[in-house]
Each structure stands twice: as structure tokens, then as C-alpha cells.
């Protein structure tokens, strides 16, 4: 949260002057930091959720851990870009950065992707990982059909000439 406040109060003003852009066109940086803060809060709660996850539902736990892992990786990528790559892009010279447009596109894309990862994670948790129930019931119905098919009396085999 301190990083976000620093970005809003100091960094955007300096960057605005350096790049020759109004602060409103630099809003994507603040949006990235807001996404980072929100995702860290969600992630904190997923650890508690995972700790108390029922052991008798291994498939659901596997899906949960996969979604959580994807969200973590996306968040780390976004945080790296918002912090480290931002410093590299901005501090490379005294004048405007030549790669700033590319950085903007990358940070905006990572922000959207990370938001999607976390939305998927939250939806899955809100729905009690219903995707697993559906896939298990489909698998069970297929298995039942196969066992019915295999239990029929054998058909006469034709002789190949």
C-alpha cells in the first residue's frame, strides 16, 4: 500500500514531466498497483481456504491449487513489471524513454491477465469448484455406459474371407 501511495504522490508527477504526458495518461500505472493490492488480499484468503480444504475431495483440491498457482504466477509477473521493469524503463536516461509505449502495453496486458486469473479463482471458490462435480459426473456416466455396453451378450463373430 505504501508503494501505491508513493506512485500516486511522487512518481507519477516526475514521470509526467519526464515523458511529457499528462498524469491522466499514466493512470495505467496506478491501476496496475491497485490490482496488485487487491490480488494480494485475495491471495491471503486463499491460503486460509486451502488450509481448511477437505481432504476427502482431492480432485477439487487439485483444481484449487492449480487456480491458486496460476493466480500467484500472474501476480508475480505483474508485480515484477510494475516495480522492477518500471524502474529500468524510467531510469534509463534523463529524457523520455523510447520504450515507454511498449512498457505501457505490457503493463496494461499483465494487469488485465492478472485480473482474469483472480476473477476465475474467486468464481471457482464462490461456486465451490463446481467444475469438478460436472467433470466427475460426466466421467461416471461414461463409465456406466461403457459397463452396460460391455455387459451385453457377445455378438457372433463373422469370418473374414
> Is 79's pLDDT higher than 60?
yes
Domain-located, residue 117: yes
- Between these two residues, 160 and 122, which has the higher pLDDT value? 122
Domain-located, residue 63: yes
Least confident range from 20-24, 66-70, 123-127, 139-143: namely 139-143
pLDDT tens digit string along 33-65? Answer: 999 999 999 999 999 999 998 989 999 999 999
- Between these two residues, 98 and 100, which has the higher pLDDT value? 100
Domain-located, residue 159: no
Domain ranges, residue 71 = 2-130
The H-assigned helical ranges of the chain are: 2-6, 12-19, 27-51, 58-80, 86-91, 100-126, 130-150
Q: Count up the domains in the chain and report the number.
A: 1
Q: How many residues are recorded in the chain?
A: 161
Amino acid at each position: 500500500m505504501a508503494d501505491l501511495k508513493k506512485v500516486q504522490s511522487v512518481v507519477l508527477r516526475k514521470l509526467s514531466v519526464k515523458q511529457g504526458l499528462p498524469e491522466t495518461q499514466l493512470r495505467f500505472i496506478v491501476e496496475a498497483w491497485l490490482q496488485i493490492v487487491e490480488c494480494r488480499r485475495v491471495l491471503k484468503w486463499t491460503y486460509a481456504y486451502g488450509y481448511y480444504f477437505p481432504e476427502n475431495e482431492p480432485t477439487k483440491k487439485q483444481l484449487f491449487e492449480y487456480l491458486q498457482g496460476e493466480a500467484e504466477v500472474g501476480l508475480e509477473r505483474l508485480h515484477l513489471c510494475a516495480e522492477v521493469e518500471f524502474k529500468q524503463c524510467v531510469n534509463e536516461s534523463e529524457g523520455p524513454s523510447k520504450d515507454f509505449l511498449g512498457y505501457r502495453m505490457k503493463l496494461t496486458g499483465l494487469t488485465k491477465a492478472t485480473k482474469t486469473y483472480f476473477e476465475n479463482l474467486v468464481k471457482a471458490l464462490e461456486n465451490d469448484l463446481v467444475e469438478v462435480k460436472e467433470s466427475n459426473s460426466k466421467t461416471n456416466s461414461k463409465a456406466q455406459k461403457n459397463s452396460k455396453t460391455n455387459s451385453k451378450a457377445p455378438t457372433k463373430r463373422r469370418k473374414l474371407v
